[in-house]
Amino acid sequence: MVWKTVSAPAPSLLLLIPAYNEEQRIGPVLERYATQLPAGHPGPLRIVVVLNGCRDNTLGVVRAAEARHRCIEHLEFPAPIGKGGALIEGLKLAPTADLIAYVDADGATPPDALLDLVQRASTPGGADAVIGSRWLEGAEITHAQPGKRRFASRLFHLFVEGFFWMGIRDTQCGAKVMRRPAIEAIHSHLRLADLAFDVNLLYSLKRAGFTIQEIPTRWHDQTGSHVVFNFRTSLNMLLSLVRLRLLYSPFYPWLGPLRPLEKWLYLKLNAPPPLSRTEADRNGSR
C-alpha cells in the first residue's frame, strides 16, 4: 500500500495597509508586496489599503496599482478615523482569511521580513500573533528612526510596561500577523483610533489568553513620517494609554459622564477620538 501525505492547504493571507497622504511612498511599496509576497507565500493573498481623508492623490496611486495587480484593493473612509480607526475597519474583513497582517505604507518592513512573520504564524502550534520587533537582539535596522523618535519610543515603552506589564519590547513596530480566531475574539475590544492602537490590540489579545511571539525584524525607516513628536502628540498617546487602562478597570462604567470631556480633549489635541462601546457596535464590530 502506498501512503500519500496530504498536506493542509496553505493559509490565506489578508494584508492591511493603513494609508494617509501616502502618494509619494505607497506606489513602489504596493508593487513590491504584490510581486514578492506570492513568491514566498503559496496561499491566497489579498492586500487591502485602508485610506481616510487623504488630501493628496493616494487613492489615484492605489487605483493604478489595483489595475496592475488583482490582489490589491482598497477601502476608503471620508472621516478622520486615524491609523487605528483604519485598522479597526480593515480588521472587520478578518473572517475572510486565515491570517491577518498589517504593515505601514512606507515600506519600512521589506516583503521578506513580513514573510518571515507570516511563516511563523502559519506554523502549527505557533503563536496566535507574531509581531516584528526593532528592539530585540538580532533586529536588522538598515536605517534607524531619528534620535528624537527613538527617545520618544523608549519613553512610551516605559509607560506601556508600567501600565500593562506585557513584557513586549516593541509594541509600535508596524509589522504584525495574527490568526483569524484571535482577531475575531477581540475585535469588539478595539477602541483606540490613534497610534496607541497597537497597544490596544496586543493587550486585548493577552487578556483574552492568546499567545504573542515577538521576533527581531528587519526595518528600514523611511523619511516623510506623519508622526510629529511634540507635547500635543505625547499627551494624546498618554491619554490613550490611560483610557485603555481604565477600560479594563472596574471603575470604567462609572466614568461615562466624563466621555464628552474626553472627546473634546481628543479633538483639541487634533487626534481621532476613541470609540465608545456603542460606537464600536454601531460600526458593526462584533
Ligand X SMILES: Nc1nc2c(ncn2[C@@H]2O[C@H](COP(=O)(O)OP(=O)(O)O)[C@@H](O)[C@H]2O)c(=O)[nH]1
The interface with Mg ion within residues 103-122 (CB under 5 A) comprises: 104, 106, 108
- State the distance between the two ends of the chain, measured CA to CA, in whole angstroms: 49
From 42-50, 61-69, 96-104, 189-197, span contacting Mg ion (CB under 5 A): 96-104
* Binder of ligand X out of 98, 106, 128, 214 (CB under 6 A): 106
Q: What angle do CA 214, 9, 186 make, to 5 degrees?
A: 45
The 3-class secondary structure across 69-121, one letter per residue, is CCCEEEEEECCCCHHHHHHHHHHHHHHHCCEEEECCCCCCCCHHHHHHHHHHH
Nearer to ligand X, 226 or 263 (CB): 226
- CB of 96: closest distance to Mg ion in angstroms? 27
Contact (CB, 8 A) for 191 and 283: no
Nearer to Mg ion, 204 or 217 (CB): 217
**Strand 176-179, strand 129-133: pairing:** antiparallel
Residue with cell 487591502: 48
- CB of 226: closest distance to Mg ion in angstroms? 8
- CB of 237: closest distance to ligand X in angstroms? 12
- CB of 174: closest distance to Mg ion in angstroms? 7
Determine if 90 is a binding residue for ligand X (CB under 6 A): no
* Binder of ligand X out of 79, 227, 258, 267 (CB under 6 A): 227
What residues does 46 pair with on adjacent strands? 14
Q: Which does 89 bind (CB under 5 to 8 A by kind): ligand X, Mg ion, none?
A: none
What residues does 13 pair with on adjacent strands? 45, 99
Question: Closest-CB residue for Mg ion?
Answer: 106
- The 8-class DSSP code of residue 22 comes to -
Nearer to ligand X, 77 or 248 (CB): 77
Contact (CB, 8 A) for 200 and 190: yes
Nine cell digits for residue 130: 507574531
The interface with ligand X within residues 5-34 (CB under 6 A) comprises: 18-20, 22
Binding site for Mg ion (CB under 5 A): 104, 106, 108
Binding site for ligand X (CB under 6 A): 18-20, 22, 50-52, 82-83, 86, 104-106, 108, 174, 225-227
